[in-house]
Structure 1
Amino acid sequence: MSVQVRLLGPVELRGDRGPADPGPAKRRAVLVALALEANRPVPVSRLVELLWSGRPPASAVANLRNHIAALRCALGTRIVSRHGAYRLDLAPHELDLAEFHRLAERGRNALALGDPARAEPDLAAALRLWRGPAGHGLPRGATLDVLLTGLEADRLRVVEDLTEARLELGQAGELVSTLHDHLVAHPLRERAWAQLMLARYRAGDLGAALATYRQAEAALHGQLGVDPGSELTGLHRAMLERAAWLEPRERRGRSVEVPRELPPDPVFLTGHAEELAAVLAAARPAPGERGPAAVVVHGPPASGKTALVTRAGHRLAEAFPDGQVFAAAGPDVAAGDLLARVLRALGVPAGEVPDPPDERVGRYRSLLAARRVLVVLDGAGDPGQVRPLIPATGGSALLVTSRRPLRMPEEVPHVTLRRAAGRRGPSGRGAPLRGRG
């Protein structure tokens, strides 16, 4: 039998004979709870927790069984009961939520690979599946609300992914009113504020773009008591400098090649699980954290430093869609030469790399202000090689290897490797963290 379950709006159920009435609100909530965990068993205790707020009534389990029995009239053997749990079996195309996630993921991957033209139709199709708030019409107050709220967060992310794709496709003028309406409903979405700034800037209205920053600042400070984050402040600074990267790619006079410079992911890397986790955590700051996303991995020769940061880089690549740069340092490489190397990797022609070191640093920070780039600096021997490359704003990250600890800002952690990956001593691992400087 064919089945269609739709959660992205009012709950709907369709079988071989057309639309089927899912029944009263509580029964529809049972259907939603099972569909959210489609093809996985959901224990009765978990269903009760999701469907009743506070202390459930003594009849909760009996009521649940009655609702399941009624749903089986439309779903038949799609509902399987076993070992105190229920499972709803659905193919991906039979659940609008699964189709939404499939399209959104495909679009997001295309966007991460720098292909907004391929991303746009998938992201738009994902959003067309929404007919209103997820689970519209269900009784509120139960734990199920938390899961449905999470779906709304997923939708907002796709709205902004689609906006990003359309901005890159040169549709800034058409996006201004859409983004304005989006922010009226969701005034704390910093990514959307940045997109509205960029849309107004690319539409030729610098004054309105800068005024949008002040509106975002007022909204965030008024409702949360916080200042704009690094993405917004970096974008504001780049607009004041009229940075070239603010233009859509097709207007920059040349194609933009996204650097993918990481060496191959080490096949035989073993051990150092805690150290790898520490590096990944340092490159992914917690929401609201204002420190730079940077970490220094140090240890003696053959301790596995380069292999570790390479493995971390591959794990992190999707979080940095604007490129991954791998630069070899060494004790004889000047900091200015390293900056020039990274600038060229980020698309700055050799003839346009500034000569004064401070201008190179400024150009580097402007490029990173609204990009998400991972920079790996291998074999640093001096803090002066590293400090200019520490991202000044959020969104990008720096991984560094060195044979010894380097004197860094106190918020930049060090990860210590004491023995080569795969050569375990009695404890089987090194010391994961070695302080902050």
Structure 2
Amino acid sequence: MSIEVRLLGPVELRGESGPARPGPAKQRAVLAVLALDANRPVPLNRFTELLWAGRPPASAVANIRNHIAALRRTVGGRIVSQHGAYQLNLAPHELDVTEFHRLAERGRAALAAGDPARAEPDLAAALRRWRGPAGQGLPRGAALDVLLAGLETARLRVVEDLAEARLRLGYTGELVPGLRDHLTAHPLRERAWSQLMLALYRAGDLGAALTAYRQAQAILHAQLGVDPGGELAGLHVAMLERAAWLEAPARRPAPGPRPAGVEVPRELPPDPVFLTGHTAELAAVLAAARPGPEELAPAAVVVHGPSGAGKTALVTRAGHRLADAFPDGQVFAVAGPEIAAADLLARVLRALGVPATEVPAPPDERLGRYRSLLATRRVLIVVDGAADAGQIRPLIPAAPGSALLVTSRRPLPMPENPPHVALPAPAPLTGRVGPRCR
């Protein structure tokens, strides 16, 4: 059976039939402990150390066993017991923490190798795994807080890694609002102060950059009793001297004009007038797919649920809300088990202006043409009714700037691990209002 555990925000548990109720706060905390040590046995004394501040109550072990028994009703044999310990077995894609670390490490490695263009989408995708503070809603005051705080520290580092990648790609003033928000919440982050100063300087606002240094200096002195470190102080001196190395690198070229005579596709169905409910799910889709200010990271979102759950209406509504963010068009393609991945790719190519006679026959050439087109465009691709992951994986944008929305009756696990939004089954109608339709 397939499950998903999410800790980067409110603790969530999903089974094959969709979202499951992970129980009261202490039970969710038990799940968090198991997930943070996934695939390793967690002794009972480890549970008590993490879940209770001070001396645990006499009923602690019995409570833990009861909570684990309740969790097993959802995850089945994924929780195994051995010699006074419990172990939750998860594949990497089934835990958002694992996927966050994988994407962050891959992006950081690309950044260290001097390839910010390859680092940026991975770092942005890592941050999209977050839905709020780690373990939001769990009881506080016990040692579990330390583990959750470690996740938050990792998130702050990725925020700054992403800012670093974008500075290297030539972004300047558009980074300022996000960095100011970051520093308002975390004013002792010297690396972020350096990034804010550099973004302001490269945007041509030397005065604001020097003011930012004085703000950092005052905060560090007031809260820690120290002066700025060597990196921040050295940047300040370099700005006073207008050092040549401070100049911004050449910005990536803007998307070129579309060929003459090629229409911008506007294929979304009409915005569903009577769509009600699913407010949280719609917000999740929009947050994952909508680029922020000057954010050019590719995105893919899978909306899954049973027949009649409202998947098509939801992605159609989301598509209309997102249309302005994708000025080069919105493509709407209907999939299904009978449509091969290569045929679906050809359908999208035609929508993007490739004449039918010029669609390459080999699947790998179709994929190359698709990626080349999206490299200079910002397009929203909507695929309704995907049958499996292999069908839609080729459509995940490789270049920053575009997004893919997919509906499917079940989750579509794949190495890229796009975020999934689950819709519950529709509530059954009560009472009989007419003859039964077959």
Instruction: Report Cα offsets for 1:118-150 as digits up to 9, x if no partner.
Output: 100000000011000000000100110010011
CA displacement at 1:241 relative to structure 2:
1.6
1:76 offset after TM fit, Å? Answer: 0.6
The one-letter code sitting in structure 2 at the alignment partner of 1:149 is A
How much does 1:61 deviate? 0.5
CA distance in 1, matches of 2:41, 2:202: 50
Q: SS of the counterpart of 2:218?
A: helix
Residue correspondence of structure 1 range 165-180 to structure 2 within 5 A: 165-180=165-180
Residue type matched to 1:9 in 2? Answer: G
Residue-by-residue CA offset, 1:266-309 (whole Å, 9 max, x unaligned): xxxxxxxxxxxxxxxxxxxxxxxxxxxxxxxxxxxxxxxxxxxx
Paired residue secondary structure (1:80)? strand
State the aligned residue count.
251
Counterparts of 1:74 and 1:172, CA distance in 2: 48
2:131 is paired with a residue whose SS is coil
Aligned residue in 2 for 1:55: 55
- TM normalised by structure 1 equals 0.57
CA shift digits 1:210-252 (9 cap, x unpaired):
111101000111111111111100111111121222123338x
Query: Partners in 1 of 2:201 and 2:78 — Cα distance?
Result: 53
Instruction: Give 1:41's aligned residue.
Output: 41
> Counterpart of 2:126 in structure 1: which amino acid?
A
SS at match of 1:187: coil
Shift in Å, 1:106:
0.4
The match for 2:260 is none
Q: Which amino acid aligns with 1:119?
A: A
Residues 245-267 of structure 1: CA distance to partner in whole angstroms, max 9, x if unpaired? 2123338xxxxxxxxxxxxxxxx
Q: How many Å separate the matches in 1 of 2:112 and 2:239?
A: 24
Tell me the residue number matched to 2:183.
183
Whichever residue aligns with residue 66 of structure 2, its letter is N
The answer for the alignment partner of 2:97 in structure 1 is 97
Cα distance in 2 for partners of 1:225, 1:80 equals 50
Structure 2 counterpart of 1:236: 236
Supply the distance in 2 between the matched residues of 1:162 and 1:14 (Cα, whole angstroms): 29
What residue number does 2:294 align with? none
> Which residue of 1 is the match for residue 79 of structure 2?
79
Matches within 5 A, 1:129-140: 129-140=129-140
RMSD over aligned Cα atoms: 0.9
Cα distance in 2 for residues equivalent to 1:228 and 1:143: 32
Corresponding residue SS for 1:23: coil
Q: What is the alpha-carbon distance in structure 2 between the residues aligned to residue 121 and residue 10 of structure 1?
A: 25
Name the % identity: 79
Between the aligned partners of 2:52 and 2:211, the Cα distance in structure 1 is 47
Once residues 72 and 142 of structure 2 are traced to their aligned partners in structure 1, the CA distance between those partners, rounded to angstroms, is: 23
Structure 2: distance between partners of 1:193 and 1:49: 37
Q: Which amino acid aligns with 2:232?
A: L
Within 5 A, what are the aligned runs for 1:297-376?
none
Partner secondary structure for residue 212 of structure 2: helix
CA deviation profile, 1:182-209 (whole Å, cap 9, x unmatched): 1111111100000000000110111111
Which residues of 2 match residues 245-324 of structure 1 at below 5 A? 245-250=245-250
User: Is 1:215 matched with 2:179?
Assistant: no
| Structure 2 segments unaligned to the other structure (5+ residues) | 252-438
What amino acid does structure 1 have at the position aligned with 2:215?
Answer: Q
Q: More displaced, 50-59 or 242-251?
A: 242-251
In 2, Cα distance between equivalents of 1:234 and 1:54:
46
Report the residue type matching 2:34 in the other structure.
L
Residue aligned with 2:5, SS:
strand
Letter aligned with residue 195 of structure 1: Q
Q: Give the Cα–Cα distance (whole angstroms) in 2 for the partners of residues 209 and 79 of structure 1.
A: 53
Q: How many Å separate the matches in 2 of 1:78 and 1:231?
A: 48
Taking the aligned partners of 2:173 and 2:195, their CA distance within structure 1 comes to 12
SS of aligned partner of 2:250: helix
Q: Which amino acid letter does the alignment assign opposite residue 5 of structure 1?
A: V
